[in-house]
């Protein structure tokens, strides 16, 4: 079997909470849907990654408190988001923000 030359450029599997219980399935579905939304909203993704892991832990932990997500899962989600953002997320964010065009009524 030949080695895949593009294997290093692919993202790993999405972080999951498991499928054994209803709560785990709901949490896993929530994570998947959240990551899908961030794939479509590059500015939000880069903003999360640039603000850092500690802020992510606080905000995500507060939002997922009712789902009882542990810190290992929250960290795994952040690592996945950082991989999704790619290299130099701060530079990417600055460039995207510089491309934003203000509407004419706000340019006065």
- Range scoring the smallest mean pLDDT among 23-27, 45-49, 88-92: 23-27
Interval 49-104: pLDDT, tens: 999 999 999 999 888 888 888 899 999 999 999 999 999 999 999 998 888 776 67
What is the domain partition of the chain in residue ranges?
A: 14-106
| Closest of 9, 24, 21 to residue 84, by C-alpha | 9
What's 97's DSSP letter? H
- Taking every pair of Cα atoms in the chain, the longest distance, rounded to a whole number of angstroms, is 64
| Closest of 28, 26, 31, 35 to residue 82, by C-alpha | 35
User: Using 50, 70 and 90 to split pLDDT, how confident is the model at 106?
Assistant: low
Contact 80, 32 (CB under 8 A): no
Q: Calculate the CA dihedral of residues 13, 16, 19, 25 and round it to 10 degrees.
A: -120
């Amino acid at each position: 079997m030949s080695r895949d030359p593009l294997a290093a450029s692919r993202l790993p599997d999405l972080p999951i909470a498991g499928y054994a219980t209803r709560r785990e399935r709901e949490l896993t579905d929530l994570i998947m849907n959240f990551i899908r939304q961030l794939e479509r909203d590059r500015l939000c993704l880069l903003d999360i990654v640039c603000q850092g892991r500690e802020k992510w832990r606080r905000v995500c932990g507060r939002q997922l408190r009712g789902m009882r997500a542990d810190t290992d899962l929250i960290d795994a989600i952040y690592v996945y988001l950082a991989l999704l953002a790619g290299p130099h997320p701060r530079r990417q964010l600055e460039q995207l923000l510089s491309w934003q065009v203000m509407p004419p009524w706000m340019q006065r």
